Structure 1
Amino acid sequence: MATKPKIAVIISSTRATRFADKPANWFMSKVKDNPDLDFELLDLRDFNLPFFDEPASNLWMPSSDPNAVAWQNKLAEYDGYVFIVAEYNRSITGALKNALDQAYKEWNHKPMAAVAYGAMGGARALEQLRLMAVELQMVPVRSAVHIGGGDFFATSPLGGNQPIETIEDHLQGSLDATLADLVWWTKATVAARAA
């Protein structure tokens, strides 16, 4: 049996009080038996990345920091990415921007999807992430899961702190569409990279 493509699910907030673990764990529970893709959770907290301070991107020269190299090597294992996207001041977290900048070649020609959250469903942060993804030669898929408004405040520790499962019926359609997009683009880009 052929090996399924691997997708990294990247938790992009590193704050002690982050909400990200709830949607990340929910997402992982929904994809654990996916017939087309294997998913692995990556937490930016585990990589101890310095602020980007290399002479150039690793597109142009090897990185010197061993933590950056370890991050690049880990990213290279995957055929695509799902970002758990927090919206901070209408953009992505500083930790995620730094993690994106610490690699280049490893992102290329692979799809990216997202589970985004915040008062506005993380829409503004995801819009910016998609622009960055294009520059990094990723393929942003059209669909995404957005947790916003009343659903966000019902499940956030700042609000009702309910489990994500209480709003799952609001998310299932977008989750199905996102996974369908991700499967299609993963298969397409795996084949194209192999050719």
Structure 2
Amino acid sequence: MTRIGIILGSTRPNRKGAQVADWVLDQASTRGDADYDLIDLRDHPLPHFDEPVPPMFGPSENESTRAWSERIAACDGFVIVTPEYNGGYPGVVKNALDHLFAEWNNKAVGFVSYGVNGGARAVVQLRAVCSALGLADVGYQVGISILTDFENHTTFVPTDAHTAALGKTLDQLIAWTTALAPLRSTESTLINS
């Protein structure tokens, strides 16, 4: 079964992202087209990127990076749930992406973002970085406003439009993940031979 990791890209206290990521997981889990798994960056406290060699040149010596590598390598695709901070995405997401290379290759990624403008600027930047890591980003995305989509600015209240957008994002994500499977299989064969 295809395995999709839903990466929760905020580690702040009082973060809104946990509600959003839980909603994504709840919606995705009813589909039956993949196993969906929440990956909270709080559970993977990586130091600021401090690897002695770039990830594309070999495995890490650091235990925290090796644990992160195993978690990501087990997935076939991803949904990144990210806030927008000051026109970009959080440093913790960039750090988590930068710690790995081969584990991201030939996998698909979709985005659910939230912020004043639905987090759109964060996703624009994430698309460029994910592409450099060999991730295929899907066109559909979900944008959530922190001004109008959180009751009393605290409780996420998804609309039918959010649910429809998430459905389209997941449809594309599964299609791309499936299409890229032969490349991942070939790559695995080359690595293990």
**What is the TM-score when the length of structure 2 is the normalising length?**
0.91
Q: Which residue does the alignment assign to 1:85?
A: 82
Q: Deviations over 1:108-157 (max 9, x none)?
A: 000000110000101000110010000000000000111026434x34xx
Partners of 2:154 and 2:138 in 1: CA distance: 30
Gaps of 5+ in 1: none
Please name the residue that 1:98 is paired with.
95
Report which stretch shifted further, 51-60 or 86-95: 51-60
Percent of aligned positions that are identical:
35
User: In structure 2, what residue type is equivalent to 1:7?
Assistant: I
The residue number in structure 2 matching 1:183 is 174
Query: Which residue is 2:162 aligned to?
Result: 171
Q: What displacement does 1:193 show?
A: 2.2
Matched, 1:18 2:15: yes
Q: What is the distance in 1 between the residues matched to 2:62 and 2:185?
A: 30
Tell whether the 8 Å contact from 2:4 to 2:34 is kept in structure 1 after alignment.
yes
Give the residue type in structure 2 aligned to 1:194.
Answer: S
Distance 1:34 1:139 in 2: 22
Within the alignment, does 1:117 sit opposite 2:110 as a pair?
Answer: no
Within the alignment, does 1:72 sit opposite 2:34 as a pair? no
Number of residue pairs matched by the alignment:
186
The SS at the match of 2:70 is helix
Matched residues in 2 for 1:122 and 1:83: separation? 12
Q: CA deviation at 1:63?
A: 1.3
**In structure 2, distance between residues paired with 1:19 and 1:86:** 8
Quote the Cα distance in structure 2 between the aligned partners of 1:93 and 1:181.
25
Partners of 1:47 and 1:11 lie apart in 2 by: 11
Amino acid at match of 1:145: V
Residues 16 and 154 of structure 2 are in contact (CA less than 8 Å); yes or no, is this contact kept in structure 1? no
2:154 corresponds to = 161
- In structure 1, C-alpha distance between the alignment counterparts of 2:148 and 2:134, rounded to whole Å: 33
Question: For the residues of structure 2 that align with 1:72 and 1:162, how far apart are their CA atoms?
Answer: 33
The answer to which structure has the higher strand fraction is 2
The equivalent of 1:32 in structure 2 is 29
CA distance in 2, matches of 1:149, 1:14: 17
Counterpart-to-counterpart distance in 2, 1:138 and 1:67: 22
- What's 2:144 paired with? 147
Cα root mean square deviation, aligned? 1.4
Alignment of 1:128-147 (within 5 A): 128-147=125-144
Unaligned runs of 5+ in 2: 187-193
